[in-house]
Amino acid sequence: MRHTLPLAPQFYVTAQQPCPYLDGRMERKLFTALQGDSADALNDSLSRQGFRRSQNVLYRPSCAECSACLSARIDVSKFKPSRSQRRTWARNSDLVRRSTSPWASEEQYDLFREYLDDRHSEGGMADMDVFEFAAMIEETPIRSRVIEYSSQDSNKLIAVSLTDVLSDGLSMVYSFYAPDMARRSLGTHMILDHVELARSSGLPYVYLGYWVPGSQKMGYKAKFSGLEVYSGGSWRPMTNPAHYSADTHPLSTDPIAEQVANIQLPDMTPRRTR
């Protein structure tokens, strides 16, 4: 199916497929291409409306009878680390951060394979080869960075985040890390470090992707203070995670045409040159 707005990007809907987060559910996504001179402006605008980037596509869950997936971000000004998070920060004080252009390396891919084989061996990315990995990292039409974390002693790469730089924050597109270093809590450390990066850059938010009540895979995101979720067309501070429901209902989502009509788009009129 295709839905369009006048003088605007075209929006499409994927076919239904099994949900990777909640057993027995079917997922569907609303998406549009990210390309051209207005790619940065479109990514900024749609990210503020719950969309996420995957290579040159922006997407948002649009399931027929389920609205459990909620886009989540940390309000940097309201974030205060918990005692456990402070211990994680101290435990990783020996790590060296390096920010690079979005280029894939063999070392990154080797770490990526270790991570998938240990954590997501049956997921949709399990069969991703080195060329597909390179496409995930390198096919970005916007301002993106690969942020690497290495051990100061061995200089061994142990964690990586593909991160987009938005006008109002940092968006952690995809992260992976050494699965045999559970004591370090590397996933948590990368989020904490991105909060510090955003703060030092004067950016108000860190976008974390989707939080899904009822999904153990996504439960860690609810542990960060200052968390906001996108619900009902606006960002709202997260209350008690237990108050959010993953129940299905036939009226839980608006019709696709309505969803598209309510999307706020940036000014994408081509500029005239003299």
> Of 136, 189, 193, nearest to 162 (Cα)?
136
Structural tokens at position 15: 């076919």
Q: What is the dihedral angle through the alpha carbons of 181, 146, 30, 229, rounded to the nearest 10 degrees? A: 60
Percent of residues in the chain assigned helix, strand, coil, to nearest 5: 30, 30, 40
Structural tokens at position 36: 């051209």
CA diameter of the chain: 59
Q: Yes or no: say if 49 and 264 are a contact pair by the CB < 8 Å rule.
A: yes
Q: What is the reported pLDDT for 248?
A: 74
Q: What is the reported pLDDT for 122?
A: 63
Q: Which residues of 22-61 are buried (b: 16+ CB within 10 A; e: fewer)?
A: beebebbbbbbebeeebbbbbbbbbbbbbbbbeeebbbbb
Q: Tokens 């991105």 belong to which residue?
A: 194
Q: What are phi and psi of 57, to 5 degrees?
A: -130, 140
Residue 120: Cβ-neighbour burial (10 angstroms; 0-12, 13-18, 19+): middle
Q: Which residues of 3-16 are buried (b: 16+ CB within 10 A; e: fewer)?
A: beeeeebebbbeee
Q: What is the reported pLDDT for 5?
A: 45
- CB-based contacts of 180, cutoff 8 Å, min separation 6: 114, 118
Q: Yes or no: say if 166 and 207 are a contact pair by the CB < 8 Å rule.
A: yes
Structural tokens at position 116: 């998938």
Q: Which helix (H) or strand (E) holds 17?
A: strand 17-18
pLDDT tens, the chain, 274 aa long: 555 544 578 999 999 999 888 888 999 999 999 988 899 999 999 999 999 999 999 999 999 888 899 999 999 999 999 999 999 999 999 999 999 999 999 999 999 999 998 876 566 677 889 999 999 999 999 999 999 999 988 889 999 999 999 999 999 999 999 999 999 999 999 999 999 999 999 999 999 999 998 888 888 999 999 999 999 889 999 988 888 877 777 777 788 899 999 999 998 765 554 4
Structural tokens at position 245: 């429901």
Looking at residue 103, the DSSP 8-state letter turns out to be -
Q: What is the reported pLDDT for 270?
A: 56
Task: Work out the number of other CB atoms within 10 angstroms of the CB of residue 251.
Answer: 7
* Cα gap 126→119, rounded to integer Å: 10
Q: What is the pTM of this model?
A: 0.91
Is the dihedral angle over the CA atoms 80, 85, 91, 92 positive or is it negative?
Answer: negative
